[in-house]
Amino acid sequence: MPFPKGHKLSGSRAGSPNKTTQKFREGLNAFFDGQWKNIKDAFETVRKDNPTQYLALMEKYMGYSFPKKKDITSDDKPIQPAITIKEERTND
């Protein structure tokens, strides 16, 4: 049976942050604040030892720093580039 009209539900307001998630994120941020030199060194080692794996790691983690672009102007129609770049071939 549904609640009668005007009945107030108890609990958190819509959109209020989850306290457990907030504390976890704060703890994770505090941990990583002290790890940046180690992370940088590890990335540098991977870059030297395996450039392909390094590029894959960079691609993976860049998504957390740079949001993916979303087309909001073309109504899902293909966008034509403003200029066309032609590849020049040289005869060596």
- The pLDDT of residue 90 is 64
Q: Where do the H-state alpha helices sit in the chain?
A: 19-33, 36-49, 51-62
Would 58 be classed as within a structural domain? yes
Contact 47, 54 (CB under 8 A): yes
Structure tokens at 70: 């979303």
Work out the mean pLDDT of the chain and round it to a whole number.
Answer: 82
Instruction: Name residues whose C-beta falls within 8 Å of residue 57's C-beta, 6 or more positions apart in sequence.
Output: 43, 46
The percentage of residues in the chain with a pLDDT greater than 90, rounded to a whole number, is 28
Q: How many domains are there within the chain?
A: 1
**Residue-range definition of the domain harbouring residue 51:** 20-62
Would 43 be classed as within a structural domain? yes
Would 84 be classed as within a structural domain? no
Would 92 be classed as within a structural domain? no
Is a pLDDT exceeding 60 seen at residue 92?
A: no
